[in-house]
Amino acid sequence: MRRAREPRRIAMVSEHASPLAVLGGVDAGGQNVHVAALAGALADRGHTVVVYTRRDAPDLPARTALRRGVEVVHVDAGPAGPVPKDELPPFMPAFADVLRAEWELERPDVVHAHFWMSGTAALPAARDLDLPVVQTFHALGSVKRRYQGAADTSPPQRLGAERTLAAECDLVVATCSDEVHELRGSGAAPRRVQVVPCGVDVARFARPRSGPAVVGDKLPGCPTRLLSVGRLVPRKGVDVAVRALVELPDAELVVAGGPDPSQLEGDPEARRLVQLAREHGVAERLRMVGRVDPADLPGLLASADVLLATPWYEPFGIAVLEAMAAGLPVVASAVGGMLDTVRDGETGRLVPVDAAGHADPAAVAAAVRSVVADPATAARLGAAGQEVARRRYDWARVAAATEAAYEKVLALPRRTAANGRPTTRAWLSEHVLELQGVLSALEAEGERLDRWGRHLVDVVDSGGRLLVAGNGGSAAEAQHLTAELVGRFVGERRPLSALSLHAETSTVTAVVNDYGPDEVYARQVEAHGRPGDVLLLLSTSGRSTNLLRAAERARAGGVTTWALTTSAANPLAAVCDDALGLPGPSTSAIQEGHLMAVHALCVAVEAHLPAVRSTTTVDLTAVRAEVSA
């Protein structure tokens, strides 16, 4: 194994998922496996890794070795016993205090936080010591909320914390392309996000097929064994696989995951799936086996013909990688990380999903038939999946990519001065990178801006006007835009009727005194706006109540509404007729992008407005004489 260019001391923070859970056959989740395997692979490259996890039992030692080069530290934060994951946030400040004290004594080169709560503990401790922070979310609260709705048990502060971490950490390591899109939609700068996928122990799963394990032989009359591996929760979509059995009469479905087999009868999701199978007449072909010892998983995969993965959403999909490493064809929903790992028609089949992320059971069944109908096709898909797993997802390759991400972060200028504030050089370096992403996004909006310019010319030609408003720096940009349109930007041409809604003290205080601050712009829109006019609202957040009220009043009066705002989902973009959103983790980056957009809009207007040069000469002497008289 090639060693690192320079050995580093790496602090990993995994507040609820201890890497020690992978030892001794304990039922470990995806994050436990990820942290343990990544730490080990980094140690193989010559680094020293210390993993900080919460003490959840009183008899755990303060420090223990996971393997050579990897040490686990148990942090006292909250009761020394099991605590549900969603109830851990109140203990993160105490966790941060321990990290700060540890790192003052033994300073790491880089901090890598796993999951959002780990980030809320790691970031403040690291910032106090000017340490670079890398964040891996493993799952995003915005995605979970979208698909689970009221069933989402995440703490209310999760979404805000994730936005803060995405903006303030030195780098976010996303595990798939779908996560990158989600992060950028939340305002993360493109340069702050890098994809490094999850990994798999290729050698462990690529052992020769050894025959049936865990569940024994296939059921009589069922030459095809379908396998589902994962937690027993509704979002995993195992019900889709159960329904698909109706159209696969010669197949059995083995579902591995959940509690120990002896406790399956008390598991709500297991009971739901069994009842669903009874209702569809396939109960005799559904085999619930509960938790499978990790040592038995390769054998179980070897006994199957197809892995079915049909979740509503999936941050990555470790089971899919394990199946690919075992040479098992995969039929998966086209969601999340599986859009990266499964190559349709090459390593398996991807099944389209509806807006809620649900795959059609009939489509799943058809995909299964296309795989198992021809043994040569199944063998080809399995071999290709195994090769992809070896070339891209082996932990040694993932560790090398992670190391490269660390080096990228370590090459950045120091972020903070002695007083804890950003250094000038660091801020400029960071801000220029932010603006590269902002300006790239703006360039892609050229057609929209040209359309706005053409429409404004039509509005003015019809006797209408442009109204513009914003708050703070955006108010200054609103005034700048209207000044340029009434005057000129590049070429000589006739003036356009453009009015910046008043932000001077007389109007603001009068309206606020009588109607409240939310009516500052809405009342002016009602006074000045006419059907067919255009109202342009500038907001870096898209959440200012006075602008939202103005947009609502404009639409009620037949005024077209446009927004210059952020690319992150926001209420202003939702309420306006059209919106141009720019990405950026900082207000200043978005605001500077808006200034460029203002200038581009001026260019668009002048491109669609015939040039007219004045031929009239003003006699200043006559004017002065007339004024004197």
Domains of the chain, CATH where assigned: 9-199+406-410 (3.40.50.2000), 202-391 (3.40.50.2000), 436-608 (3.40.50.10490)
Q: What are phi and psi of 561, to 5 degrees?
A: -120, 130
> Model confidence at 28, in pLDDT bands (50, 70, 90)?
low
Terminal-to-terminal C-alpha distance of the chain: 95
Token pair 């909006």 in the structure block, residue:
445
> Model confidence at 416, in pLDDT bands (50, 70, 90)?
low
User: How many other β-carbons are positioned within 10 Å of the β-carbon of residue 57?
Assistant: 10
Percentage with pLDDT > 70 across the chain? 91
Cα–Cα separations (whole angstroms), residue 180 to 63, 308, 379, 402: 35, 25, 33, 16
Q: Where are the beta strands (DSSP E) in 431-546?
A: 466-470, 498-500, 534-538
For the cut 80, the answer to whether the pLDDT of residue 187 exceeds it is no
Alpha carbons 319 and 348: distance in angstroms, whole number: 14
Q: Which residue has the higher pLDDT, 27 or 407?
A: 407
pLDDT of residue 48: 97
pLDDT of residue 614: 41
User: How many other β-carbons are positioned within 10 Å of the β-carbon of residue 172?
Assistant: 25
Using one digit for the tens of pLDDT, what is the confidence trace for 53-97? Answer: 999 999 999 999 999 999 999 999 999 999 998 999 999 999 999
User: Do 367 and 349 form a contact (C-beta atoms < 8 A)?
Assistant: yes
For the cut 90, the answer to whether the pLDDT of residue 51 exceeds it is yes
For the cut 60, the answer to whether the pLDDT of residue 324 exceeds it is yes
Evaluated on CA atoms 34, 40, 42, 45, the torsion sign reads negative
Using one digit for the tens of pLDDT, what is the confidence trace for 29-43? Answer: 678 889 999 999 999
pLDDT of residue 622: 53
pLDDT of residue 613: 43
Alpha carbons 324 and 116: distance in angstroms, whole number: 29
Token pair of 600 as six digits: 């581009």
For the cut 70, the answer to whether the pLDDT of residue 589 exceeds it is yes
Secondary structure letter of residue 19 according to DSSP: G
Alpha carbons 454 and 501: distance in angstroms, whole number: 22
User: Do 90 and 78 form a contact (C-beta atoms < 8 A)?
Assistant: yes
Cα–Cα separations (whole angstroms), residue 580 to 70, 122, 561: 48, 35, 12
Q: Which residues contact 437 (CB under 8 A, 6 or more apart)?
A: 189, 190, 191, 583, 584
Nearest one of 507, 504, 506 to 475, comparing CA atoms = 504
pLDDT of residue 418: 52
Report, as an integer, the average pLDDT of 393-409.
93
Using one digit for the tens of pLDDT, what is the confidence trace for 477-487? Answer: 999 999 999 98
Report, as an integer, the average pLDDT of 173-190.
80
pLDDT of residue 426: 67
Using one digit for the tens of pLDDT, what is the confidence trace for 491-549? Answer: 778 888 999 998 777 878 888 888 888 898 999 999 999 999 999 999 998 989 999 99
User: Do 309 and 332 form a contact (C-beta atoms < 8 A)?
Assistant: yes
User: Do 184 and 567 form a contact (C-beta atoms < 8 A)?
Assistant: yes
Alpha carbons 311 and 318: distance in angstroms, whole number: 13
For the cut 50, the answer to whether the pLDDT of residue 612 exceeds it is no
- Which amino acid, one-letter code, is at 69? G
Which DSSP string do the residues of 527-539 spell out, in sequence order?
HH--TT-EEEEE-
pLDDT of residue 79: 94
Report, as an integer, the average pLDDT of 42-52.
96
**Residue 36: which H helix or E strand, with range?**
helix 30-44
Stretch among 111-125, 206-220, 263-277, 305-319 having the lowest mean pLDDT: 206-220
Alpha carbons 229 and 489: distance in angstroms, whole number: 62
Q: Which residue has the higher pLDDT, 587 or 558?
A: 558
pLDDT of residue 617: 46
> Model confidence at 456, in pLDDT bands (50, 70, 90)?
very high
Q: Which residues contact 604 (CB under 8 A, 6 or more apart)?
A: 449, 450, 452, 453, 454
HEC assignment per residue over 143-184: HHHHHHHHHCCCCCCHHHHHHHHHHHCCEEEECCHHHHHHHH
User: Do 258 and 264 form a contact (C-beta atoms < 8 A)?
Assistant: yes
Residue 71, beta-bridge partner list = 50, 65
In degrees, to the nearest 5, what angle opens at C-alpha 75 toward C-alphas 74 and 81? 80
Token pair of 601 as six digits: 């809009």
User: Do 240 and 361 form a contact (C-beta atoms < 8 A)?
Assistant: yes
3-state secondary structure of 579: strand
> Model confidence at 616, in pLDDT bands (50, 70, 90)?
very low
Q: Count of alpha carbons within 13 Å of 95, Cβ hemisphere only? A: 29
Q: Which residue has the higher pLDDT, 310 or 207?
A: 310
**Residue 287: which H helix or E strand, with range?**
strand 286-290
Q: Which residue has the higher pLDDT, 314 or 210?
A: 314
Q: What are phi and psi of 5, to 5 degrees?
A: -60, -40
Q: Which residue has the higher pLDDT, 314 or 70?
A: 70
Q: Which residues contact 369 (CB under 8 A, 6 or more apart)?
A: 248
Alpha carbons 193 and 190: distance in angstroms, whole number: 6
For the cut 80, the answer to whether the pLDDT of residue 151 exceeds it is no
pLDDT of residue 3: 55
Nearest one of 469, 472, 484, 628 to 564, comparing CA atoms = 469
pLDDT of residue 207: 67
Nearest one of 143, 88, 148, 145 to 119, comparing CA atoms = 88
> Model confidence at 9, in pLDDT bands (50, 70, 90)?
very high
pLDDT of residue 623: 45
Report, as an integer, the average pLDDT of 245-260.
94
Instruction: Tell me, rounded to whole angstroms, the distance of Cα 287 from its chain centroid.
Output: 35
Token pair of 272 as six digits: 């739901």
pLDDT of residue 385: 94
pLDDT of residue 406: 94
534-538 sheet: strands from edge to edge? 498-500, 466-470, 534-538, 560-566, 578-582
Residue 110, beta-bridge partner list = 10
Alpha carbons 135 and 169: distance in angstroms, whole number: 7
Q: Where are the beta strands (DSSP E) in 335-417?
A: 348-351
Using one digit for the tens of pLDDT, what is the confidence trace for 90-149? Answer: 999 999 999 999 999 999 999 999 999 999 999 999 998 999 999 999 988 888 888 777
Stretch among 13-27, 127-141, 555-569 having the lowest mean pLDDT: 13-27
Token pair 């603006």 in the structure block, residue:
435
**Residue 268: which H helix or E strand, with range?**
helix 268-279
